[in-house]
Structures are given as C-alpha cells and as structure tokens.
Structure 1
C-alpha cells in the first residue's frame, strides 16, 4: 500500500491518495471508518464490479472491465474506468472517491511523481480534478489506439489492391472487432463522465469539454467503422475481380481449343471414307490446320483487346 497527501497551494482542499494492490481489497473499509455499515452490507458485495474484484482476485484471474460509476452514499462513489496501452491491452482503473480521499485498487500507471507533477502545474486541486485528468488520459489512449488501427487499415488496403488473398479477410474481421471494442469502451466512459459531471458542481465546464471531446472521438470511430465496411467491400470486389480474371482465362482457353477439339473429334470417327485419311501428308495438314486456327483465334482476341 502507498499513501500520498496532496497539498494544493493556496487552498484548504488537501486530500489523500491511497494505492492498494488488488489482493489488498479487504483493507478498503478502513479508509472510510464512518461507512463500515456500507462495506459490510450484503448489497455492497452484490455490486457486479466489487464482486468481480473479490472473486477474481481469489482465483488469480482478471475481471471483465465495464466502466461505470456506482453511488454508495452522497459523497462516496465507486468508479471503474478502462485504460488501453499502445498494443490494445486493457487494464482497469478502480477507485473509491470521496471529498477528501481517493483509494485506488491495482492502478499500474499512476504514481507519486505523476500526481505531484499535475499538482505543481495547477491541473489538480481536488479529488474530482484528478478523476477528470485520468479520464482525459484514458481518452487520449483510446485516440492513440484508434490511430494505430487506422494505420493498419491503410497497409491492409494497399495489400488488398495489390494482391488479394484469403488471409486478409481474417485481418479485416480482427480490425472490425477492435473498432467495435473501442466504440463500446468509449460509450461506457461517456456515460460515466456524464454521471461524474452531475456530481461535480464546481467545474461543470471542464467536464462538458471532456464529454464533447469524447463525443467527437465516438464520431471518428463511427467513420472508422464505415471505412472498415468499405475495406471489406474492396476486398470482396478484388476477390470477385480475380475470380472474373480466372474465368476469363478459362473461357479464352476453351474458346481457343474448341475448333481443335472439333477437328480431333471429326478425324477420330471410325469411317472408311474420310478426307485426308489416305493422304500421306494427312497428319501434317491436320496439325497445320490446328496451328492456323490457334493463331487466327489468338490474333482475333488480341485485336478485340480480350487478352489484357
């Protein structure tokens, strides 16, 4: 466990931060001595996010992350955010928020130096300021992840146009899932931000700015989703064009060989009297006729620009 006292300059709103390991969740009630009844009640343990922390920590697993805000009493809330790294790996940011303290559970990134830096820059004056700052950082990570996905789409589109292959369909499906995942995550977060904005009456304009920026990012995600659909259509069109080229080649080959097949079938019939059957140069004449037909058909196709 780590404890930080945040002293804000020219302000009487000093507050404390506590960082607990996930296995230390049982220590949470000691930070809120006036709320023992809440933490010991049956309904508290039935809250899905709290229940997941407890059960998964006991099993050594990671709980499913669903951002949201749960009101325990006036002035005390449990908040669950979801952050992403550059590789798209997600991790939870869970904490209890009151007027004078924040208790984080298993936060892998936030540390003493970072908080003090934000305080020195005047970004943080209250616990809610820190929550909003964390929300801004989460949004920024989602933006970076979306930009990475868009770069992947650009490379994949170039591959599809140059050489469409079946494995590219799996890549498109994977990208589609990533976009949907980010969209769901931001939808959950914007709901949480809106709830926190209603709680924080001191700085509603800053929350409105964060919510508006999140909405703009959601619009970007919708556009990216449309681009994924366009990419899927481009892939299907490329595959169809490739199939058409193959069918065109087979059709041309069949057309070229059809007159020769007719000649072969004709001279393959079992009759005593047939043209060239007694001629000593019959086989040469037959092959010459086949070659002449082949050259004539190819020249005709070339003139009609059907071989390109």
Structure 2
C-alpha cells in the first residue's frame, strides 16, 4: 500500500495512515492499495461492508457505482489485449471528500500512466483524479479496438489467400471475446452516464460536465465493438465460402482428370479383350502406336481444358 499527498500534481509520501483521517490543508490523499490492505483501510475510512466484499470477491465484478453516506464506490474495467486474449481487470475506487482509494488485484497500466498527467495538470482534488482515471480507462479501449481491427483485417487476408482449418477456431475465439467484451461495455457505459448526469455531491458540478465527453467515447466504443461482432460474422461466412470454393476446385480437378482418363480407359479396355481377330493386334509397333495415341489424346484434352480455364 502506498499513501501519497497529492497537491498541484506533486506527490508527497505519507507514512502514517492516521494522518489521512483529517483533510490536508491543500490537496488530497491518494491511497494505492491491494485487496489485502482493505482489512486496515475499512475501519479507518469506514468503508461499506458490501463494497469491501465486492473487492474481495473472486467473482467477476460488473462495472457499477454505489453511493454511500461518506464515500462512493466505483468499479470500472481496465482492458488489455495480448493478441491472443482480451483481459478485463477490475479497478475498484473509493472516492471521499479528501481522499481517493484505488484497489486492484493486478497491476493496472492506467494508474502508472496517470501519474505524469496529474503532475502536468497540477491536480489537487480527488474528483478530478477520478475523471482523469476514468478517461484513461475508456480511451484505452480505443487502442485495443485498433489492434483488434488490425487482427481482423489480417485474419481476413489470410482466409482469402490461404484458408486453414485453424482459422475457424481463431474466428470463433475472437468472436467470443468480442461478444463477452460487448456485454461488459453496457454496464461501464452506464457508470460513466451516472457520473455525467446524476447529482453527486462529491464531484464538482463544473467537473461533472466533462464526464459527458467520456460518455460519448464510451458510446463510440460500444458501437465499434458492435461493428467488430458483425465483421466476425462476415469472416465466418468468408471462411465457409472459401472452404466450399476450395472443395469445388478440388472436385473440378478430379473431374477433369477423370474425364481425361475415360477415353484412355476405353482404348486399354478394347485392346485388353481376349479375341484373336482384333485389328492391329499383331502389328510390330502397335503397342507404341497405341501409347502414342493415348498420350496425344490426353495432352490434347489437357490443353483444351487449360485453354477454356477449366483447370
């Protein structure tokens, strides 16, 4: 657990948690904690039991905002994409009048990225800290969306050029990830909308208007992933169509080969009959003549098929 006094974007470490009970003369306290630290933090800041229970739960938490008497409890999902799987990591935030507590089970990149922004914008209030943090979390969805779009385009190109059976599992896996993410985006969008529209006494009225911009971005993200879902459906259709075309191409080749060998089979069948009076059967060079006719006939038919683009 790290305790910092933040004033005008400048961080001052605080060693004694008891000092955070009273509002500082200037700035606010930021406590960056793990879930194990809640046992110490709950009695100090009178954190609500249900909020603490949500933080400690192993179940996946949906984004939400809970309003209690002395603080707000906000859950948003940070996103990460490693080209194979999409990960959502819960970021739990307790917002008070003179403090903000961030509680995570894993490291959240947005918290690391936020530090220079706090210094650059000379942040001195916890509600502005919350605004900048949520803004970073939502903006990161755009970056992940761009990477997903690139992956979809590459997958589409691979399917059109060289279709493989493994492509189907990639399509199904990525489509499942997108559907799951789309499902989680709805509650997160509502959280931002609540921060934008609801009268919240711990958030300055002037600052609250800025949440409308984040809400617009959240709506765009939701629409973008809806488009990705449709694109994955199109990819699956393209895969099935490519497989069908490939099968048709193989059958066309087999059909052409069969057609070429049909007259050759007739010739060999005729000269394979056990009759004494077959014309040219005792000819000295009859064997070579028949072979020549068969080769000429086969090559001629192959030429005709290639010219008509049947092969």
What TM-score bracket applies, with the shorter chain setting the length?
Answer: 0.7 to 0.9
Q: Which residue of 2 aligns with 1:59?
A: none
> Structure 1 unaligned runs (5+)?
57-62
Check 1:217–1:112 CA distance in 2 against 1; reply closer, same or farther (3 A cut): closer
Paired with 1:13 and 1:196, the residues of 2 have a C-alpha distance of 25
In the alignment, does 2:208 pair up with 1:209?
Answer: no
Paired with 1:119 and 1:15, the residues of 2 have a C-alpha distance of 14
Task: Give the CA deviation at 1:298.
Answer: 2.2
Cα deviation, 1:130-159, whole Å, max 9, x if unaligned, reads 222111111121111111111222222232
What's the RMSD between the two structures over aligned residues? 3.0
Q: Is the 8 A contact 2:94 2:101 kept in 1?
A: yes
Task: Give the CA deviation at 1:19.
Answer: 2.2
Alignment of 1:2-81 (within 5 A): 2-7=2-7, 14-33=27-46, 38-39=48-49, 44=50, 50-51=52-53, 53-54=55-56, 56=58, 63-71=59-67, 73-81=68-76
Alignment of 1:1-308 (within 5 A): 1-7=1-7, 14-33=27-46, 38-39=48-49, 44=50, 50-51=52-53, 53-54=55-56, 56=58, 63-71=59-67, 73-85=68-80, 87=82, 88-106=86-104, 108-109=107-108, 114-115=114-115, 117-118=117-118, 121-122=121-122, 124-197=123-196, 198=198, 199=200, 200=203, 202=205, 203-307=207-311
Secondary structure at 2:209 match in 1: helix
Paired with 2:306 and 2:103, the residues of 1 have a C-alpha distance of 74
Paired with 1:284 and 1:85, the residues of 2 have a C-alpha distance of 72
Check 1:286–1:143 CA distance in 2 against 1; reply closer, same or farther (3 A cut): same
> Structure 2 unaligned runs (5+)?
10-23
Paired with 1:79 and 1:205, the residues of 2 have a C-alpha distance of 18
Q: Is the 8 A contact 1:164 1:238 kept in 2?
A: yes
**Length-normalised TM-score, structure 2:** 0.79
**Length-normalised TM-score, structure 1:** 0.80
Q: Which residue of 2 aligns with 1:60?
A: none
Paired with 1:4 and 1:274, the residues of 2 have a C-alpha distance of 107
